Chain A
């Protein structure tokens, strides 16, 4: 027993308690459970959308990236900002359409817009293939955090089991209400902890921010600017653009738009969320502070930078507080992913097989699927080898492939047909998989200009997607014209 353990245990209990309390006064129909009765105000929508950004990836990965690679980490700050600008214009029409048509999931949106349950199945499958590894990533992060913060007293496997049980329990009971309530605790804690660490550690070790960056520049010249090759400016710009487009294509983020009680709530958030992103700046400061203090972490161990430095700098009880924050950064996004995946399977796969099922049955099946999905994720976390790592890298690119068909469907007259949308998504996803599995990138084509070689290879998949979408849509229209009604 050490003094860090009570804080970590308290975080798990707090999540469980808030998760249960969130249910009060609600009949948990599918509409309440999965989209909060479409009644959330600006604060809850803010927390749900923000909850998605501050996952274990940002906590561990953001600081690790700054620690290991320096300036390329800045891209995380930039893409979120651009995604929020897009969100001001793109999300209100999505929200309105979802409300009018009583949609529950991202897949529903495609089903209605393109009048095609089959397209819905395709979107749901892409979503699930991207979501499960994302959940695995949260569980993996949880294991690392608890193991480190408890000074090895709780093994990663035990932490993952406890975390999975806690999150599955409160998701079953309270659905998205549970996610919203627990994110209040999580965001208050992470705001306080990260800002404190980001200010304290540079002062403690270097005497200030400026002297820290000066010391880094002296020891590793150019570390805090983008390199001339590799993760260069060309890489930076193309990656920021791609990830900004894909940002709201994550199905759990997409569905959290549905919880808003009106569109103004969403537009307001486009003002506040860029500022909230600045928390990441403090995460980077921690990573940079660690660069010269605990050198030598390589490979996936760079993700330990924040905790290694904290263990060095603080008493165990405070490491426990940081660990508690880390636990919540895993559980809150985990709860949204879990709920979204269960909803997709029940609502967009099961319902297609069994069209007579009513909302009550779908709701019951979705809730029963929660522990099943959690178990699958725990299995992959504990047993998964290279495959799951490969899927993780592909997840973001997979969901980005939904962007063209989605954006086109928002236009007054959609030029894409259902066949075009499906063909584009399949072609894009296949390209992502082929490129990732073969490790292809522009560097394999030495005849290309150096700048082009540094571009994010994801652009190819998106381009293939758009070309196929257009070609198939135009062909289908030419064949069917003029009798065919355009897909609305």
Chain B
């Protein structure tokens, strides 16, 4: 399950590379400019990704470090 950790690379691609493709003000998505909507969406997805990594990480099952 350690390969799931590689999911952590995705937010970097999305937030560092994504803006090159979605740098637009319009149309508004849920009231937000496209670029801002993209960033907000990826914040939510990042949290989800970290939750998945956390849940599958054996390190969190031990009590100690």
A: which residues have CB within 8 A of B? 71, 74, 77-78, 81-82, 84-85, 88-89, 92, 95-96, 99, 208-210, 212-214, 217, 221-226, 233, 236-237, 240-241, 262-264, 267-268, 270-272, 274-275, 277-278, 281, 284
Decide: A88 and B50 in contact? CB cutoff 8 A: yes
Q: A214-B28, A225-B25, A262-B64 are in contact. Are A271 and B15 (CB under 8 A)?
A: no
- Give every chain B residue within 8 A of A96 (Cβ-Cβ): 65
Decide: A267 and B54 in contact? CB cutoff 8 A: yes
Bound form: Cα–Cα A310–B51 in Å:
37
- Give every chain B residue within 8 A of A275 (Cβ-Cβ): 43-44, 47
- Contact pick for A213, options B20, B32, B43, B47, CB 8 Å: B32
- Give every chain A residue within 8 A of B19 (Cβ-Cβ): 226, 233, 236-237
Decide: B15 and A82 in contact? CB cutoff 8 A: yes
- Give every chain A residue within 8 A of B20 (Cβ-Cβ): 233, 237
Bound form: Cα–Cα A102–B47 in Å:
32
- Contact pick for A274, options B25, B43, B57, CB 8 Å: B43
Decide: A225 and B34 in contact? CB cutoff 8 A: yes
Decide: A267 and B39 in contact? CB cutoff 8 A: no
Bound form: Cα–Cα A88–B46 in Å:
12
17 more A-B residue pairs beyond the given contacts A81-B11, A214-B28, A224-B35, with a C-beta to C-beta distance below 8 A: A71-B33, A71-B35, A71-B36, A85-B8, A88-B8, A88-B53, A213-B28, A213-B33, A222-B25, A224-B25, A233-B23, A237-B17, A240-B15, A263-B65, A271-B54, A275-B47, A284-B36
Give A147 Cβ to nearest chain B Cβ, in Å: 32
Bound form: Cα–Cα A233–B20 in Å:
6
Decide: A240 and B25 in contact? CB cutoff 8 A: no
Decide: B43 and A89 in contact? CB cutoff 8 A: no
Could you name 16 residue pairs across A and B whose Cβ atoms are closer than 8 Å? A77-B40, A81-B11, A81-B42, A81-B46, A82-B15, A85-B8, A88-B54, A209-B32, A224-B33, A225-B25, A225-B35, A226-B19, A267-B60, A271-B50, A271-B54, A281-B36
Bound form: Cα–Cα A335–B61 in Å:
35
- Give every chain A residue within 8 A of B57 (Cβ-Cβ): 267
- Contact pick for A262, options B12, B24, B65, CB 8 Å: B65
Q: Does B16 contact A (CB under 8 A)?
A: yes
Q: A85-B50, A267-B54, A267-B60 are in contact. Are A224 and B36 (CB under 8 A)?
A: yes
- Give every chain A residue within 8 A of B36 (Cβ-Cβ): 71, 74, 224, 281, 284
- Give every chain A residue within 8 A of B5 (Cβ-Cβ): 89
- Give every chain B residue within 8 A of A223 (Cβ-Cβ): 25
Bound form: Cα–Cα A364–B31 in Å:
55
Bound form: Cα–Cα A212–B64 in Å:
50
Bound form: Cα–Cα A81–B13 in Å:
12
Decide: B34 and A77 in contact? CB cutoff 8 A: no
Bound form: Cα–Cα A90–B19 in Å:
26
Interface centre among B40, B43, B44, B60, by most chain A C-beta atoms within 10 angstroms, is B43
Give B54 Cβ to nearest chain A Cβ, in Å: 6
Contact with A along B1-27 (1 / 0, CB 8 A): 000010010011001110110011110
* Total of A-B residue pairs, C-beta within 8 Å: 114
Give B22 Cβ to nearest chain A Cβ, in Å: 9
Interface centre among B23, B49, B60, by most chain A C-beta atoms within 10 angstroms, is B23
Decide: B8 and A78 in contact? CB cutoff 8 A: no
Give B64 Cβ to nearest chain A Cβ, in Å: 7
Give A69 Cβ to nearest chain B Cβ, in Å: 14
Give A247 Cβ to nearest chain B Cβ, in Å: 14
Decide: B31 and A213 in contact? CB cutoff 8 A: yes
- Give every chain A residue within 8 A of B54 (Cβ-Cβ): 88, 267-268, 270-271
- Give every chain A residue within 8 A of B25 (Cβ-Cβ): 71, 213, 217, 221-225
- Contact pick for A264, options B12, B42, B50, B60, CB 8 Å: B60
Bound form: Cα–Cα A85–B48 in Å:
11
6 closest A-B pairs by beta carbon, nearest first, are: A209-B31, A210-B31, A224-B33, A225-B25, A271-B50, A224-B25
Instruction: Specify the chain B residue showing the minimal Cβ separation from A96.
Output: B65
Decide: B43 and A92 in contact? CB cutoff 8 A: no
Instruction: Specify the chain B residue showing the minimal Cβ separation from A269.
Output: B50
- Contact pick for A271, options B16, B31, B51, CB 8 Å: B51
Decide: A274 and B15 in contact? CB cutoff 8 A: no
Q: A71-B33, A81-B11, A82-B11 are in contact. Are A274 and B28 (CB under 8 A)?
A: no
Give A432 Cβ to nearest chain B Cβ, in Å: 22
Decide: A74 and B28 in contact? CB cutoff 8 A: no
- Give every chain B residue within 8 A of A225 (Cβ-Cβ): 23-25, 33-35
